[in-house]
Chain A
């Protein structure tokens, strides 16, 4: 059993919408599909504008497309919040406690259909 998602699911969603890498590259404004290939092979992380472009193209929230990165960021924030609760800054501790008290929602399942 594993609990770590892959850094991103761009390849899965691209195949679901039946686009080629060069077609996605055209839509995000890249010269060719090489950059998309690097994103899909986890060797490069897209910049924020490209993330939003990919969100629009695949009609899927960025936190689902980049589930592994999102989960890692969330884990780190919670680690820091736990430290902040034990810290000296009362206002920050109160806010950090609110973050920690947020209910943990199961992440949305990866859709098997694209409508």
Chain B
């Protein structure tokens, strides 16, 4: 190992949604490198997959973090299949894939009742995200796509804090 090497985990978290995908890239728990929502309307699955693969080649993350779509998770079948494709693509690029359940993310943010509360807490931690923070959704409105950035970031933060707590540098549900 080089005398200059300072190891850190580069984590890419992706949250696929009906209109595209939100993503967040972290280097360690405190350095937010990139974030955004990739809006795709036509040929969504192929273009989402292509975008994620391009991020694999560009950022070379150590871990891909996805939501664990276990029982009781009401996400469309298309989104679940797409997440499986992301995991397969990560495996193809030699990137570990980690699935984190919604419950685990909620447990990392005990003071937050809703995902909008969580977004505000994440903004407090990463102030550069302030312009991306959507207002709390009214019940007659559809969900703002920018909330997917915070969902992805919540997954990444949950993964990094769980890895830190374990002391192993890896969370439990890692594949391969």
CB-CB under 8 A for A6 and B59, given A1-B7, A107-B6: yes
User: Counting chain B CB atoms within 10 Å of each CB, which of A11, A15, A75, A78 scores highest?
Assistant: A15
Once the chains are docked, how many angstroms separate the CA of A3 from the CA of B6? 6
**Interface status of B58 (Cβ within 8 A of chain A):** yes
**Interface status of B39 (Cβ within 8 A of chain A):** no
Chain B residues within an 8 Å CB radius of A2: 7-10, 60, 62
B4 and A74 form a contact (CB under 8 A): yes
Chain B: residues with Cβ within 8 Å of the partner, total of 27
Q: Which of B28-36, B67-75, B101-109 contacts A (4 or more CB under 8 A)?
A: B28-36
B2 and A3 form a contact (CB under 8 A): yes
Chain A: residues with Cβ within 8 Å of the partner, total of 26
B128 and A112 form a contact (CB under 8 A): yes
CB-CB under 8 A for A18 and B33, given A3-B7, A71-B4, A104-B4: no
**Interface status of A88 (Cβ within 8 A of chain B):** no
CB distance from A23 to the nearest CB of B (A): 15
Q: Which residue in B27, B58, B128 is a CB contact (below 8 Å) of A114?
A: B128
CB distance from B175 to the nearest CB of A (A): 18
Q: Mark A6-34, 1 if CB is under 8 A from B, else 0.
A: 10010110011010000000000000000
Could you show 9 A-B contacts with beta carbons less than 8 Å apart? A1-B9, A3-B5, A4-B60, A6-B33, A12-B32, A104-B4, A109-B30, A112-B125, A113-B127
